[in-house]
Structure 1
Amino acid sequence: MTPGPAADDLDTAVSLGVRALREAAGLDWSARAAGLEWSRRDTAVHLAGDLTGFAAQLAARATDGYPPSRVDAAPAAPGALIDRVEAAGRLLGAAVRAARAGDRAWHPAGAADADGFAAMGVTEVLVHTHDILRGAGAEAWEAPADLCARVLTRLFPHVPARPHSATGGGPWAALLWATGRADLPGLPRPRVWRWYNEPVRGSGVTLCEISPALAADLCAGGTGGFAWPADGPSEGTRLAAGTVVKAHEDGTYRPGWGAYAIVRDQGRRAVGGIGFHAAPDGDGRAEIGYDLVPSGRGAGHATEALRALCAWAFAQPGVSALYAGADDGNAPSRAVLRRAGFRRTGHLAGTGWYALAPQERGTAPETL
């Protein structure tokens, strides 16, 4: 997390969370935690397991899954559970401090470095402390704004870190909203959510992958966990989400090769969608599509998103070319392709087809 040492932020979160949980040790820990299917006790076990798992993941620099690790869920008094959480937090802190520059490890939300695992640990401690305490007379417990703001910057590029006065709240409220735990005026609470360890960064925009769970929510009329302007998400984005859902159901989904939300860095609102129709074919070719909500057009967001996604694609092994279609009547889409370096290769049934090879990026082809 930037600014500030990641391990120090983790130490702060663990210290604050453990202190608050010890003060609540007299609660009924068999009662359900707020907003979860788990009891308070099970939530504490889950939290300790997450922190321990993150530490093992980072220490092993695992590349394709979680190394075997398990936190015993045998019955234990609240004090012992809290001790377990504190020990797991210290273990993760030690792993973060011991990691070398460039060390990375696998996570379902994208590979992460020590900074990323620390941020994930901070998030887990803060939100699960909230879950255990809420509804038990401790609703006023609140995490420090600066700590929450750094977590939002590191893991939640799609969430307004400091909501405007019209929506109310600060970084703590935004973090609770980001994880589906609170409402913000003017923003519907996400029904599904995720964080992003390695979003695709462009100039003025960030591309956040729409995972199968987020895609299913979009298909069902939800927000996919994003903050949209009043005219979003567009029908094209919902249709692209449907493609992700179908690929997942068919077993053909490949992370990275589906849909992304285009998030405008200023204000952190999703203004459109972009992505691949499918993973690259046997020749290394993949098709790209994109759209913007009306209020997001005219500012170059589609062009910057396309450039960023092309750069990501060509950094993957075996990708030989990207192509896209633009209807004859869609001059803005053709202009986006031209600015991103695509060249026209053909025309069929009212659609012009354009292609881009790795060596052609950054060129300025003839007017389309």
Structure 2
Amino acid sequence: MDQLATERLVLVPLDAERARALAAGAPGAADRWAPGYPDEGDRAGALRYLRVLADGGDPRPFGAYEIRRRDDGVAIGGAGFHGPADAHGVVTIGYGLVPAARGRGYATEALRALLDHAREHGARGVAGDADRENTASQRVMAAAGMRLVHEDELLRHYAVSWAAPDAASS
């Protein structure tokens, strides 16, 4: 998988070695991690990625990424897909940042890169959710172009979808 670059960020794809380091919270000698990284969510995402690898092999192009600032290379969070597209062509995303990196638009920037990546690689849509109390994450998904499609007592579910490619124009 290739890196995804935005104006201020680089999303670096995980591999098994990096995922194991994240899950253990043990940086390699060359790693530069912001204070608080990886957090519980990052470690859970790394474990999910390792399960996907074990169950079905490399999930390319819908893998997991470490979010790094372009200017200094410091890892400030994680983002990615929870696995391959489902039978309807929809992939599920997740993301998170260390507290010191929040409120600067980084999460929206990273999510937009994931949405573009998903669309470019044939996904028909992207789904995500946030706890009802997590209004910041809800704002991120809305700012990235996702819309609220369902809510229950625990979560608010967001999605974006794209029209199927016209077979006649292919």
**Would the TM-score normalized by the shorter structure come out above 0.5?**
yes
What residue in structure 2 maps to residue 327 of structure 1? 131
| Residue of 66, 69, 75 corresponding to 1:264 | 69
What residue in structure 2 maps to residue 12 of structure 1? none
Cα 1:256–1:227, aligned 2, differ >3 Å: closer, same or farther?
farther
Matching of residue 347 in structure 1 with residue 155 in structure 2 = no
Question: Which residues in structure 2 correspond to 1:204-353 (within 5 Å)?
Answer: 204-223=8-27, 226-317=31-122, 319-353=123-157
1:282 to partner: Cα distance? 1.3
Q: Is the 8 A contact 1:247 1:253 kept in 2?
A: yes
How far apart are the structure 2 equivalents of 1:296 and 1:310? 21
Q: Is the 8 A contact 2:25 2:38 kept in 1?
A: no
Q: Is the 8 A contact 2:10 2:69 kept in 1?
A: yes
Gaps of 5+ in 1: 1-109, 111-197, 360-368
Question: Which residues in structure 2 correspond to 1:47-58 (within 5 Å)?
Answer: none
Question: Which residues in structure 2 correspond to 1:1-368 (within 5 Å)?
Answer: 110=1, 198-223=2-27, 226-317=31-122, 319-358=123-162
How far apart are the structure 2 equivalents of 1:248 and 1:268? 26
Moved over 3 A (4+): none
* Rg larger in structure: 1
Counterpart amino acid of residue 238 in structure 1: R
What residue in structure 1 maps to residue 166 of structure 2? none
Q: Is the 8 A contact 1:202 1:307 kept in 2?
A: no
How far apart are the structure 2 equivalents of 1:270 and 1:201? 14
How far apart are the structure 1 equivalents of 2:162 and 2:5? 18
Aligned pair count reads 162
Q: Which has the higher contact order (CA 8 A, sep 6+)?
A: 2
1:226 to partner: Cα distance? 3.2
* SS of corresponding position for 2:18: helix
How far apart are the structure 1 equivalents of 2:157 and 2:40? 22
Q: Is the 8 A contact 1:285 1:323 kept in 2?
A: yes
What residue in structure 1 maps to residue 167 of structure 2? none
Counterpart amino acid of residue 129 in structure 2: G
Q: Deviations over 1:121-172 (max 9, x none)?
A: xxxxxxxxxxxxxxxxxxxxxxxxxxxxxxxxxxxxxxxxxxxxxxxxxxxx
1:348 to partner: Cα distance? 2.1
1:249 to partner: Cα distance? 1.7
How far apart are the structure 2 equivalents of 1:349 and 1:252? 35
Q: Is the 8 A contact 1:209 1:256 kept in 2?
A: no
How far apart are the structure 1 equivalents of 2:9 and 2:64? 15
What is the identity percentage for the equivalent residue pairs of Structure 1 and Structure 2? Answer: 34
What residue in structure 2 maps to residue 187 of structure 1? none
Q: CA RMSD in A?
A: 1.5
Q: Deviations over 1:198-244 (max 9, x none)?
A: 31012211100111221112112212663111221121111100011
The structure with the largest strand share of the pair is: 2
Q: Is the 8 A contact 1:274 1:288 kept in 2?
A: yes
How far apart are the structure 1 equivalents of 2:33 and 2:162? 33
Q: Deviations over 1:238-281 (max 9, x none)?
A: 11000111111223431232210111112211110001111101
How far apart are the structure 1 equivalents of 2:7 and 2:87? 31
Q: Deviations over 1:32-86 (max 9, x none)?
A: xxxxxxxxxxxxxxxxxxxxxxxxxxxxxxxxxxxxxxxxxxxxxxxxxxxxxxx
Cα 1:255–1:212, aligned 2, differ >3 Å: closer, same or farther?
farther
